[in-house]
Structure 1
Amino acid sequence: MEQLLTIEKVLNNNVVIARHDAYKEVVLIGNGLGFNRKKGDVISFDHADKTFLLKDATEQEQYVNLIPYIDEDLIAFINDQLVYIEEHMGTELNEHIHVALTDHLSFAIKRIQQNMQFSNSFLFEIESLYPKEYQVAKGVVKAFQHHMDIVFPEGEIGFIALHIHSAVTDKSLRDINKDHALISRLTQLIEEGLNVDLTKDNVNYHRLIQHLHRAIDRIHQGESLGDENKLEALLKAEYPVCYNLAWKLIKVMQNQLKKPVDEAEVLYLTIHLQRLTHTN
């Protein structure tokens, strides 16, 4: 049965906001969808190439305010990329990516046009932590180059990957970036505490940030690693430098995340730190 909606606002020739009895306000996107249409007109879901809900009133307002300042062809192409992202990630994306990624990419294009340089200092870490999102983001960047003749700098792959990860996990970009900043701080403390130099392309650095990322995720989720009292006595006696440094790192995590940390994390972190000193 055909589902009909009532148009509430025509944003441009390709994007309209309509109301549905069940879904409430829906954003409809399609080539020429808004042409010659006005508020109060009835439209079918079938006419749209892409539909999404903006349940959050603030995000809907942001999207409505954003669209008039972006070229219609660019909006259509970005929405094609959102379909590409959803298909290749194999999961439904949080609605906030429609606002966040559209805003980000339009601004990134302006930076390129104005020859503004914008580096991504956490690019290696993003590729290491979110390999699937990174590969999909590379596909988006290639699509912009091939179809719109827009060449993004390599760092832009990382930024797009973060938006994808945020939409897949429902974590805000702000929280994701806070975790990255914490990992950077912990890595610096490890280098200083163990007197080691961990270059970013080194396998030890890769293993380290993977371990820290998993530990931070466990803290966020309140996961317990279990009781390891016997192992604690052994590690404390055999590797006192690594054991004490591990406790220091745990205290930093607690202060930064404002959450309790399972004491067993100290033991696994001690083992990881000892492997670093042994390798170096």
Structure 2
Amino acid sequence: MVTVKKVLNNNVVIAAHKEYEEVVLIGKGIGFGKKAGEPIAKESAEKFFVLRNAEEQEQYKTLLEFVDEDFISFMNDSLERIEEQFQSSLNEHIHVGLTDHLHFAMKRIQQGHGIKNPFLKETELAYPKEYRAATELAERIHKQFDVRIPEGEIGFITLHIHSALTNRDLSEINRHTQLVSELVGLIETNLEMEIERDDMNYLRLVRHLHHAIERVATETYAESQDTLLNVLQKEYPLCYTLSWKLMKVMQKRLQKRVPDAEAVYLTLHIQRIYTTKQRMN
């Protein structure tokens, strides 16, 4: 049993818990007729979660005061579906972050405002499973609320889902996605070419860049490849030099050392794209 602290609406209750202090209970009619101080069985809730961060607790309480109950219920159901789909728990911050984000996004869409997402393709390629889940959520929103979520917005939903699945801060994921886009732009500028976004080599490059950035950020360094480095420097000097430029940008943005071994993998990815383009010309 837990004790009611505040009834936010008929379906959502903030309750006092011995271990977690404050918990959120969600269930059809769970708050109806309840008053502060009354005991309530947490088993009666369809959803039970903890917002350990005090700021998120306040944000969620505020959110529930101006967001329609039907949408709150829809989001809780949708997040539960995503957990089942991935067979993994979502970090509870998504109840605040994604619900708030989508609520305002839908308002903007209904008012005719466009949504731009310059990192859409990189997001889709880096997180394909999360992108599919985000697309399914967008389709459900259209079906239930008659609001068509544009593709750019699906990219932002994808990042929220990935953040909640990996327990990584959304702002960090955004920074890394922007860095990948910057690195791709640097490659195109230096090689004086436009990389086809549907090319399999581009897919491999983007995924490698994401993994490389995460390795550097977490200081999970690859093994030394000095012998291969020397070979690549002689065989592919243009792409080899470019790989070091990319590494310097990564090091500056991440404020962490990028191991020399990354030059091997970057050179090979860049050379594959450059060779393919030359054959086409």
Decide whether the 8 Å contact of 1:198 with 1:204 is kept in 2: no
Per the alignment, residue 13 of structure 1 pairs with: 10
CA contact (8 A) 1:89 1:133 kept: no
Give the CA deviation at 1:168. 0.5
TM-score normalised by the chain length of structure 1: 0.95
1:83 has 2:69 as partner:
no
Structure 1 equivalent of residue 49 of structure 2: 52
Segments ≥4 residues shifted beyond 3 Å: none
Aligned residue pair count: 277
How far off is 1:16 after superposition?
0.8
Deviations 1:86-145 (A, max 9, x none): 111210111110100110111111112211111222222222111111111112112112
Other structure's SS at 1:11 match: strand
Q: Does residue 104 of structure 1 match 2:101? A: yes
The equivalent position to 1:184 in structure 2, one of 165, 181, 184, is 181
When the two structures are superposed, what TM-score results if normalisation uses the length of structure 2?
0.95
Partners of 2:221 and 2:120 in 1: how far apart?
Answer: 30
In structure 1, stretches of 5+ residues that fail to align are none
Distance 2:43 2:224 in 1: 57
- Please give the per-residue CA displacement for 1:16-59, whole angstroms capped at 9, x wherever unaligned: 10011123211011111111111111111122111110011111
Give the partner amino acid of 1:24: E
How far off its partner does 1:197 sit? 1.2
Tell me which of 69, 74, 79 is aligned to 1:72.
Answer: 69
Q: Is the 8 A contact 1:89 1:136 kept in 2?
A: no
What SS does structure 1 have at the residue aligned with 2:9?
Answer: coil
Q: 2:242 aligns to what?
A: 245
Counterpart-to-counterpart distance in 2, 1:249 and 1:122: 18
What corresponds to 2:166 in structure 1? 169
> Unpaired segments of 5 or more residues in structure 2?
none
Q: Distance in 2 between matches of 1:224 and 1:73?
A: 47
1:236 Cα deviation (Å)? 1.3
CA distance in 1, matches of 2:74, 2:35: 24
1:180 CA displacement: 1.1
Q: 1:134 aligns with which of 124, 131, 135?
A: 131
On the 8 A contact 2:119/2:178 being kept in 1, the answer is: no
Q: Deviations over 1:150-195 (max 9, x none)?
A: 3212222211111100001111111111111111111111111122
- Residue matched to 2:274: 277
Q: Percent identity?
A: 51
- What amino acid sits opposite 1:106 in the alignment? H
Matched, 1:156 2:153: yes
Instruction: State the alpha-carbon separation in 2 of the partners of residues 156 and 83 from structure 1.
Output: 21
Cα deviation for residue 199 of structure 1 reads: 2.6
1:203 corresponds to 2:205: no
Question: Residue 258 of structure 1 aligns with which residue?
Answer: 255
2:60 maps to a residue whose letter is Y
Shift of 1:217: 1.3
The AA in structure 2 aligned to 1:195 is: E
Alpha-carbon deviation of 1:70?
0.5
Residue identity opposite 2:191 in structure 1 = L
> How far, CA to CA, are the matches of 1:134 and 1:51 in structure 2?
26
